[in-house]
Structure 1
Amino acid sequence: MKTNAYPASLISAAIVAASMALAGAAHAGTDTIAINEQNFSQAETAKNFRNWAARGANKGISHMDRLPPRGDKAPTIQMNDDTLYSVVITEVDDKGQVTFTIPETDVYMAVQVVNEGGHGQHYIVEDGTHTVSVDSKHAFLIYRSGTEQGLEVARAAQQLIPDDSFIFGTYEVKPYDYDEVQQWVEKYRAETRDYVLEYTFPSSAADITDLHQWNLENANGWGGASPVANVANKYTNSLFMDGETCYQTTFADPKSRYFTSVTPYDTGRYLMEGVKNVNSHTWQKNQDGSITVSFNCGDDAPNNIDTKGERFSFTMRYYGVSQDVIDGKIAPTRNVVKGS
């Protein structure tokens, strides 16, 4: 007789899902919106809107004029350590559009436009005034100002960003159960501890081909862009690694149009106190033109990052990603080995 046998891992996952469904049902009749697989990414997006609204991004441009805070004081997980952030929460106009300006500066500057579903609908790097369509009532604009010439130059660039095209003050924080959102975040992050996570960041709801994958991406690195060769960015997370062990990854030059960065994060996907990243503005190349990045291998190791004994993963970011990276021909997160 044929029987249906299910692995213990699937049974466990089913129990977790059932318990979350019951928890969601318990919220029925309250003023908060319960969380499920279908609305998780919208709720995680609302959480980030909420966090930045608390910093004033709903009233005017919120300039973060220093590198992001370490640990969970950061308003968004897995923030980069290479640019300064300026964030706007604006209502779209009566045509469903938002207009913004990228001023002429001496540093890298880009604007990413995120809708209320969490989709980075546009990623623009050209100077000038731009008008784009957004398929939600409000838009979240992320300005990134490069620190390649130092923090003071990046801060000066931030101050050139005009705000006269935005409709401020109308966004209201959505009543999701944010404690429950965090429970789902932790569940999804636990899934990704032991494999490399490649981000796809579909630019609209219609582009989602795997809802579970989309939720994993938002739980581990909300606010990314769809990889578009030579324009937008690509992101990849490594496995988690022991903070007391030497690791290295060697790879061909990714040849990002703007720059490439390698940034470590703690197990909560936050930056770590006293831990720096490495990027292509300053990294040292090997004689053959390849790059080796080391972790916890000592000061004499090439491009060494000391995680201070803390368990970590690292994220590759390619600003203006090359086609070779998109095609998987260059994959530093998959080439990690224990060093000597």
Structure 2
Amino acid sequence: MKKLTILATITASLFATTTLAHDLGDHLPKKGQPTALQIENGGKTNVTKDNFIAAESDKYFFEQQAKSGINQFTHDRQLLTMETQTVVRQNRDTLYSKSIWDTKGGVTFELPILDSYQALQVIDEQHRTVAVLYAAKGQNKVTITPDMLSSGQHVWVIARTQVASNAPADIQEGNRKQDMIKGIASSAERYAPKGFDQFDREKVRLALEANVLQLDFTKAMGAPEGKTLKPEQHLEPRKVEQFHALGLTSMGFGGLPSEHAYYKVLLAQDRSGECQTMNFDAPPLGENGFFSITTYGADAYVHTEEFALSSRKDELKANKDGTYTVNFNCGEQAINNIDVEKGWTGILRMYKPNSDKQIVNYAKGVEQPHG
């Protein structure tokens, strides 16, 4: 009974409304309140757990189309800051390029061959990953057709481009690599919003977020069901379970399947803002793999300037034995210190693991931040 009480307390506090020292103003969606764009593209179709994934995907599809149009990328030219965030639980791991594509007649994506991390992920209207490409020989090209999707003919595409550092010259080089991403489509029919009730959708999303502590990310993301996977899709067959898929979709859109990235939620012993610390070994990652820690306020937005650290150059500093120590609100003199606020949470993101099984076992052993 005591264990259940503690779990319930942590879960409740995770999603409690907290007054934050850094007010983000009115440009970001408020918890439970749809934006004007969402209401404009919404309708009267009720949203329940049964159709939430389709409704949440629909939101991301029409929002991205409003920003980038059809069949063309919108590139984020700088790493994320507190001022440039647009949705919950964003991160500053890479430069991002996003778009909506019509697959009718086929659409071909191609990445350049690089010596650094660049990945492109194709996602369908049921939040299933249809393909993952890398900027490496034999892994950089795929053609997507409607028969490869769970439903519909449109896909949401996100490309991640790593930069050596946040220095202007390295950012400029990352921008050059973004411009090398190619997409060629045969059709340009616009995505049509499905008319979901946006107030319903937000209510269901917030209710599902409470399941975060029970989620198994290996069962939350994967390829469309009942489809034969082609080698160029670079996906492993896996059983996606509805409970875990619902919870993951409510937390954030566009997560990579576990063979390509793994995510560990960080919940400190004390989330009042007092100094906390964690120690961990370097994750088992493949060539050009990297990892990061990003922290959020109680509303899942970034509220501090120093909110994240990445294993790229000049950010996370390793200990002499190769392990890492990360501190939270322990002062400027503390190694790898991240500033957090009351009610904070975090995510350890690990890209290009050596194997699905290995990264899952590794993540189980990573300690939570503690006093």
Q: Name the structure 2 match of 1:89.
A: 100
Match of 1:40 among 52, 61, 67: 52
Do structure 1's residue 326 and structure 2's residue 326 form an aligned pair? no
Aligned-pair distance for 1:143? 0.8
Q: Name the structure 2 match of 1:129.
A: 141
Distance 1:166 1:157 in 2: 24
Aligned-pair distance for 1:198? 4.3
Q: 1:196 to 1:295 in 2, by over 3 A?
A: farther
Partner SS state of residue 285, structure 2: coil
* Matched-pair contact (CA < 8 Å) for 1:82–1:261: yes
Q: 1:144 to 1:167 in 2, by over 3 A?
A: farther
* Matched-pair contact (CA < 8 Å) for 2:81–2:305: no
Partner SS state of residue 110, structure 1: strand
Q: Name the structure 1 match of 2:285.
A: 256
Q: Could you tell me which amino acid in structure 2 is paired with residue 251 of structure 1? A: F
Do structure 1's residue 290 and structure 2's residue 320 form an aligned pair? no
Q: Name the structure 2 match of 1:178.
A: 198
Partner SS state of residue 51, structure 1: helix
Q: Name the structure 2 match of 1:140.
A: 156
Aligned-pair distance for 1:196? 6.9
Q: Name the structure 2 match of 1:22.
A: none
Q: Name the structure 2 match of 1:117.
A: 126
Distance 1:64 1:268 in 2: 23
Aligned-pair distance for 1:103? 1.8
Give per-residue Cα distances to partners, 1:181-221, cap 9 Å, x unaligned.
111111122343xx375423331353555322211111112
Once the two structures are superposed, the pairs formed by residues 165-244 of structure 1 within 5 Å of their partners are 165=185, 167-192=187-212, 195=213, 197-200=215-218, 201-206=220-225, 209-228=240-259, 232-239=260-267, 242-244=271-273
Match of 2:75 among 58, 63, 68: 63
Q: 1:235 to 1:338 in 2, by over 3 A?
A: closer
Distance 2:292 2:192 in 1: 35
Structure 2 length-normalised TM: 0.73
Match of 2:367 among 331, 335, 338: 335
Give per-residue Cα distances to partners, 1:247-293, cap 9 Å, x unaligned.
11111110322111111122232333413311222321122221111
Q: 1:202 to 1:162 in 2, by over 3 A?
A: closer
Distance 1:295 1:123 in 2: 33
Aligned-pair distance for 1:122? 1.7
Aligned-pair distance for 1:77? 2.9
Q: Identity over aligned residues, as a percent? A: 24
Q: 1:176 to 1:109 in 2, by over 3 A?
A: same
Structure 2 runs not aligned, ≥5 long? 9-41, 226-237
Aligned-pair distance for 1:302? 2.1
Q: 1:189 to 1:103 in 2, by over 3 A?
A: same
Aligned-pair distance for 1:237? 1.4
Q: 1:86 to 1:327 in 2, by over 3 A?
A: closer
Structure 1 runs not aligned, ≥5 long? 1-6, 10-29
Bigger relative contact order, structure 1 or 2 (CA pairs below 8 A, ≥6 apart): 2
Q: 1:242 to 1:31 in 2, by over 3 A?
A: closer
Q: 1:131 to 1:67 in 2, by over 3 A?
A: same
Distance 1:167 1:255 in 2: 41
Q: Could you tell me which amino acid in structure 2 is paired with residue 81 of structure 1? A: R
Over aligned residue pairs, what C-alpha RMSD do you find? Answer: 2.7
* Matched-pair contact (CA < 8 Å) for 1:52–1:75: no
